[in-house]
Every structure is written in structure tokens, then in C-alpha cells.
Chains A and B, each alone.
Chain A
């Protein structure tokens, strides 16, 4: 396999969790809810799905459990920010703080007694690449055809989410709730229910992104497995301008950074590892600055107009 193809293969593998979570967060933010709990939800999805895969070797069950856990955590955020009108930034942060702490607790508690109840260092069932004969031999494009099942499903999810959001009626309703909840309400759309529904669906996708990390990308559980990916996703939503179709570019970029880091480290570069590891975080800041600058220049309104604001019928 040539260098470009192999880098692209790792890029897609690294980017899958980012795409899943980005699309999830796009759906959530389109309903006007900013969920900063992604990092915590991803970690919870990763730890629970790994525990299930370790004990049952059933990958479908592992994914279902992750999605269920993601839905529950997102429901907490929806309850606090929609029903209780709490500050969405702080509510999301608290989901991340709780999710991080609880995931670390579970990682020290769910393991077998022989491993001191820890999950670290164990091996469970994992997703393995399915190589499409013939197609995977094509240079460069071949990288697309040697991925695991979750990545293949991601290929379908991207156009589906785009189609849903921009070409269907429920997609239009969703967008109108994020843009102008008052008008949406007047049109007979149930604003509250819509916000709940897409916050929860978003949380499920985010948790599945986390599950991809512990079931495929870096199989197993390790403390702080996500390493800030949940936060990078928040930036990727801005980078994709709240459009699921564009989510692949951001994921390719950051998956690519990961892949190149990987390559450089393996080839024994003189750049210290610490500086290499800074790349995704500095990259995120750079992307944010450029996007904000570009938005200001092109006078394009970025996100949903009512993103982050609580909707209160009685408020004027």
C-alpha cells in the first residue's frame, strides 16, 4: 500500500468518531440547543460499549447500550436547558464533568475481580476492517473500501442527514425551531418536543462516536480515551457551518492531523512528541479563528439564530 493511501485509511478511521459526533451535534444545535456535554457523552459511550463488548462479545448490544447511555445524558441536558431554562453552556459543561467522572468511575469498577475491577488493559470484541475485494486495490480511493462497519454506515449517514435536514418537512421544522422558535410555535410546531427529540438523537450519535473509539480505533478502555475529541467536535460543527455534508471535511482534516502525527512518530522524527500532540488543539484554534474571520468578511450568519437561548413562551 502506498503512503497516501495508508494515511487516508488511518484518516478515515480516525475521522469516523468525529463525523458521527459532529452530525449528532449539528442536529442538536439546529434545534437551538448548544450541547457542550459531547466530551462527557463520548467517554460514557466509549466505556459502556467497551464493558458490554468485553462481557458479551456482542457488538450490536454494545452499540445499543452506548446509544442508550448517550440518550440519557442528552436528556439530562435537554431537561435542564429546555424545561428548567438553565444556562446551556454551564449545563453542557456539567454533563461533561459528570460524564468524565462517571466514565472514570466505571472504568475502575466494571472490570472483573481478576483485573482489580478495572477495565484498563482488557480486550473485548472489536470491529475489524472489512476489505472490499477489487475496490480496495485502487490507489487512494481504495482507502474508502477498507474500513469497519461503523465507518461504512457513516458513509450512508452523511448524505441521509443532509437530505433529512434540507429536503424533508421534519428537517425544515427542525431548522425553523432553531432559527425562530416563536414563529415555529405559532405555526403549530411543538418547539419543546422538537428540542428534546434532536438533543437526544444528537446525544445518541455522539455516544456512538465514542463507542467507535473503544471498539475500533483504539480498542479497549483507557482513562480520558477521547483526549478532547468532544471539544474538537464543537469546533467542527462551526467548521461545517451546521451542514452535515460538510462535516466530512473537518473530520478529514483532523483525522488527517492524527494520521500524520502517527506517521511522523513512527518514522522517528526529531520534533518532540509533546509538540506533535499539540497539533489537533492548535489546529482547532486556527480553524475557529479562520472561520470567524471568514464569517465576518462574507457577512454570512453562521449558526442557528436562536442557538443557546432558552425558549420561554411567557417571556417577551
Chain B
């Protein structure tokens, strides 16, 4: 018997659902083994994580707090990945979104009255995130510069820039040396719904729905799927690949920018250290686990946020490193990637003595 892989004509729907779930279970199993090796009981640890994240109203609202930026950045990354544009710069786009929002909230309060200040601040965050994502998109479409590295490098630049602002010119003079800007006026605060969870949740869910519909129903969505499959084929069909990449990246950056805008207006009410807790990196995992489907992003984000909060909880309660959460997250993609073979290929067993005469591929 000989194992042969055959390309599927259509991606298997069942496998699309099963692979992420099985991957999650495998990652729990592997991290459980790791915990046992380091002398902790994996069952009590996971139970404590789950209880910490979903077991109480307080814990759940903290999970939502982390889920909101994850949903928005996850949507942004998934959108870019659909084009095979490897935007790993959500972290920087989020940060620049937060910076622009803080700028409006801190310095435009005299000119803009009432809740309009919040609206303008949020919009500024979107625009800033979009422009930050526009840099790698411009370099890619005009000069063919590899986007992976540019988006990543811009993360460091954005974080250092925000650091400069809150340590330097924007530092709160009444902050007793605390690294952060002055607090925003209250009309630039995003309303909260439960605990610290804020209205950004509605933006995230609405945008997931809108994106899902837009990708299925509009010409833009159609163009994205064609370019993602083959830019060459897209060109033959008269699609302007460069323009679509540019537009998609602007939207992708705007989503991450909004995440940053919501963080500063909904949570910290100022620009300060620790604006992003690695949301942009987790967004990569979320996008891939959702199989780039916007509708799946909110659910996967909630699980990932739960792992983050659970990790913090076991640190507080059991003295375990909070990085347990990061390890579980980091382990999810391995089985996921291994499993993608089964969504795209079909395994067939062929008798060894007979040569496969014709194994027809789907592409």
C-alpha cells in the first residue's frame, strides 16, 4: 500500500469545522503534558483557567474586555490574509489607532463639544490605523517590497512612537511620573456595558457580520477571493490587483485602528503603557483558526480572550506563570496547519505494485 495525496476539488466543509476544534483539543493536551512535566496538575490548572475566565460575571466581563480588541484585529488580519497579504502588523496599526484617538481626545476637546468628540476620536483612530497599514500596502503594490517584514517592523516603530509621546510631550504633568498622558475628557469615553466591557463589543460584532456579507455579496469580496487564489488569474479577468490590495489593506488597518481607539476610549481613558497586550499576534492565530471566515472570528476571539484571562488568573491564584496562556495559544496553530492538509487534499491508498496511472489534481 502506498499513500497518495489528491487535491480536493472543493475544500471539505466537515474538515473545516473539525480541524480547528481538534486542533484546540490537541493544543490543550500538549500544554497539559507540559504543565505536568513542570510539576503542575493540568486538570486543576485548566479548571482554574476556565473558572477565572467564564466562571463569574466579573471574570466574564474581563474576558469580553480582551475579546473586543481581539475580534477587531482578528477581522483585520483575516481580511488581509484572504488576499495572501501577510499583514502581521495589527499590533502597530492598533497602537497608531490609539495614538490618533488620544490626540483628538486630548487636544480637540475645546473645538468639538459633546459626544461628537468621541465619534471624531474613534474615526481618527480608524484613519490612522488605515494609513499605517497603507505604508506596507503602498510599498508592496508600487515597489513589490515584501509586506511580512515591513508590517512587522512598523509594529516596533509604532510602539516606540507611542512611548515617546507618553514619556515625552504628552506626559501628564499631574501624573507623578506615571508613564501616561493626561486623562481624556469624559465626553470622549466609550460607554461601558458590563464591568469594564464597553460598547466596542457592538462595533466588533456588527463589523463581523457586515464583513461576512460584503465578502460574499459584493464585487470587492469576489475580487479578494480571486486574487487570494491566484493573482495571475485575477489579472486576466481585468481585476486591478494593486487597487484591491490597497483598498483591502486600508480596511484591514482601519479595523485594527478601531481596536486601539476602543482600548483608549473604553478602558484606559488615556494613552499609556501596555496599550496592546500582544493582541496583534494573537489575531494571527484567531484569523487562521477562523479559517479566515469573519463570522467565526468573534467566537474564536472569545476563546482566545478566555485563555488570556485564565492565564492571568492561574498566575494570581496558583503562582503559575501567566505565559501558560500564550503557550496554549502558540500550540494551537501546529495541529491546525497539519490538519489543513486534510481540508485541501484527500488521502488515498494505492496498491504499491500498481503505478498510479493518473492522479488528477483539482487545480
Please report the C-alpha to C-alpha distance between residue A270 and residue B315 in the assembled complex, in whole angstroms. 41
A-B contact pairs, 14 of them (CB 8 A): A84-B337, A89-B148, A90-B337, A91-B333, A94-B334, A97-B285, A98-B327, A227-B156, A281-B153, A284-B153, A285-B139, A285-B153, A288-B150, A312-B5
Q: Does B29 contact A (CB under 8 A)?
A: no
Which of B6, B153, B167, B356 interacts with A231 by CB under 8 Å? Answer: B153
Provide the residues of chain B in CB contact with A102, threshold 8 Å. Answer: 323, 326-327, 330
Q: Mark B1-18, 1 if CB is under 8 A from A, else 0.
A: 000111100000000000
Q: What's the least CB distance linking A95 to chain B, in Å?
A: 9
Are A289 and B143 touching (Cβ within 8 A)? yes
Provide the residues of chain A in CB contact with B333, threshold 8 Å. Answer: 90-91, 93-94, 97-98
Please report the C-alpha to C-alpha distance between residue A292 and residue B338 in the assembled complex, in whole angstroms. 33
Q: Does A314 contact B (CB under 8 A)?
A: yes
Which of B143, B161, B330, B363 interacts with A97 by CB under 8 Å? Answer: B330
Q: What's the least CB distance linking A287 to chain B, in Å?
A: 9
Provide the residues of chain B in CB contact with A285, threshold 8 Å. Answer: 139, 149-150, 153-154
Among A99, A278, A281, find the residue whose CB has the most chain B CB atoms closer than 10 A: A281
Are B330 and A288 touching (Cβ within 8 A)? no
Q: Does B262 contact A (CB under 8 A)?
A: no
Please report the C-alpha to C-alpha distance between residue A94 and residue B337 in the assembled complex, in whole angstroms. 9
Interface residues in A261-314 by Cβ distance below 8 A to B read: 272, 274-275, 277-278, 281-282, 284-285, 288-289, 292-293, 296, 312, 314
Provide the residues of chain B in CB contact with A272, threshold 8 Å. Answer: 164, 167-168
Q: Mark B131-152, 1 if CB is under 8 A from A, else 0.
A: 0000000010001111011101
Please report the C-alpha to C-alpha distance between residue A285 and residue B331 in the assembled complex, in whole angstroms. 30
Size of chain B's interface in residues, with CB distance under 8 A?
51
Q: Does A258 contact B (CB under 8 A)?
A: no
Interface residues in B307-343 by Cβ distance below 8 A to A read: 321-324, 326-327, 329-331, 333-334, 336-338, 340-341
Are B338 and A228 touching (Cβ within 8 A)? no
Please report the C-alpha to C-alpha distance between residue A86 and residue B333 in the assembled complex, in whole angstroms. 11
Are A85 and B329 touching (Cβ within 8 A)? no
Please report the C-alpha to C-alpha distance between residue A269 and residue B70 in the assembled complex, in whole angstroms. 39
Q: Does A87 contact B (CB under 8 A)?
A: yes
Q: Does A136 contact B (CB under 8 A)?
A: no
Provide the residues of chain B in CB contact with A277, threshold 8 Å. Answer: 160
Please report the C-alpha to C-alpha distance between residue A274 and residue B345 in the assembled complex, in whole angstroms. 48
Q: What's the least CB distance linking B226 to chain A, in Å?
A: 18
Are B143 and A293 touching (Cβ within 8 A)? yes
Are A86 and B341 touching (Cβ within 8 A)? yes
Provide the residues of chain B in CB contact with A99, threshold 8 Å. Answer: 330
Please report the C-alpha to C-alpha distance between residue A278 and residue B159 in the assembled complex, in whole angstroms. 9
Please report the C-alpha to C-alpha distance between residue A282 and residue B285 in the assembled complex, in whole angstroms. 26
Please report the C-alpha to C-alpha distance between residue A272 and residue B329 in the assembled complex, in whole angstroms. 36
Q: Mark B263-295, 1 if CB is under 8 A from A, else 0.
A: 000000000000000000100110010000000
Q: Does A21 contact B (CB under 8 A)?
A: no
Q: Which residue of B lies closest to A291 (CB)?
A: B145
Q: Mark B169-198, 1 if CB is under 8 A from A, else 0.
A: 000000000000000000000000000000
Q: Does B299 contact A (CB under 8 A)?
A: no
Which of A84, A85, A278, A284 interacts with B149 by CB under 8 Å? Answer: A284
Provide the residues of chain B in CB contact with A76, threshold 8 Å. Answer: 334
Q: What's the least CB distance linking B66 to chain A, in Å?
A: 16
Provide the residues of chain B in CB contact with A85, threshold 8 Å. Answer: 5, 341, 345
| Given contacts A275-B164, A315-B7, A105 and B321 within 8 Å (CB-CB) | yes
Please give 15 more A-B residue pairs, beta carbons under 8 A apart, in addition to A91-B333, A289-B139, A293-B143: A80-B337, A84-B340, A85-B345, A86-B341, A89-B148, A90-B333, A94-B285, A94-B333, A97-B281, A97-B285, A274-B160, A274-B167, A277-B160, A296-B144, A314-B356
Which of A84, A94, A97, A274 interacts with B164 by CB under 8 Å? Answer: A274
Q: Does B352 contact A (CB under 8 A)?
A: no
Which of A101, A117, A238 interacts with B330 by CB under 8 Å? Answer: A101
Q: Does A234 contact B (CB under 8 A)?
A: yes
Are B341 and A292 touching (Cβ within 8 A)? no
Are B334 and A101 touching (Cβ within 8 A)? no
Provide the residues of chain B in CB contact with A315, threshold 8 Å. Answer: 7, 361, 363
Are A108 and B321 touching (Cβ within 8 A)? yes
Q: Does A316 contact B (CB under 8 A)?
A: yes
Are B156 and A278 touching (Cβ within 8 A)? yes
Q: Does B88 contact A (CB under 8 A)?
A: yes
Provide the residues of chain A in CB contact with B150, threshold 8 Å. Answer: 285, 288
Among B88, B160, B359, find the residue whose CB has the most chain A CB atoms closer than 10 A: B160
Please report the C-alpha to C-alpha distance between residue A106 and residue B7 in the assembled complex, in whole angstroms. 40
Q: Which residue of A lies closest to B165 (CB)?
A: A274
Listed from nearest, the 10 A-B pairs whose CB atoms lie closest are A101-B326, A98-B330, A108-B321, A94-B333, A274-B164, A86-B337, A105-B323, A101-B330, A104-B323, A281-B156
Are B153 and A292 touching (Cβ within 8 A)? no
Provide the residues of chain B in CB contact with A253, threshold 8 Å. Answer: none
Q: What's the least CB distance linking A18 to chain B, in Å?
A: 15
Q: Does B33 contact A (CB under 8 A)?
A: no
Q: What's the least CB distance linking A232 to chain B, in Å?
A: 8
Provide the residues of chain B in CB contact with A193, threshold 8 Å. Answer: none
Q: Does B157 contact A (CB under 8 A)?
A: yes
Among A89, A93, A292, find the residue whose CB has the most chain B CB atoms closer than 10 A: A93
Among B4, B163, B167, B333, find the residue whose CB has the most chain A CB atoms closer than 10 A: B333
Q: What's the least CB distance linking A93 to chain B, in Å?
A: 6
Provide the residues of chain A in CB contact with B145, threshold 8 Å. Answer: 288-289, 292
Q: Does A67 contact B (CB under 8 A)?
A: no
Please report the C-alpha to C-alpha distance between residue A101 and residue B331 in the assembled complex, in whole angstroms. 9
Please report the C-alpha to C-alpha distance between residue A288 and residue B151 in the assembled complex, in whole angstroms. 12
Provide the residues of chain B in CB contact with A84, threshold 8 Å. Answer: 337-338, 340-341
Q: Which residue of B lies closest to A34 (CB)?
A: B148
Q: Which residue of A lies closest to B150 (CB)?
A: A285
Please report the C-alpha to C-alpha distance between residue A114 and residue B327 in the assembled complex, in whole angstroms. 24
Q: What's the least CB distance linking A305 to chain B, in Å?
A: 16
Q: What's the least CB distance linking A46 to chain B, in Å?
A: 15
Are A228 and B153 touching (Cβ within 8 A)? yes
Provide the residues of chain B in CB contact with A93, threshold 8 Å. Answer: 88, 284, 333
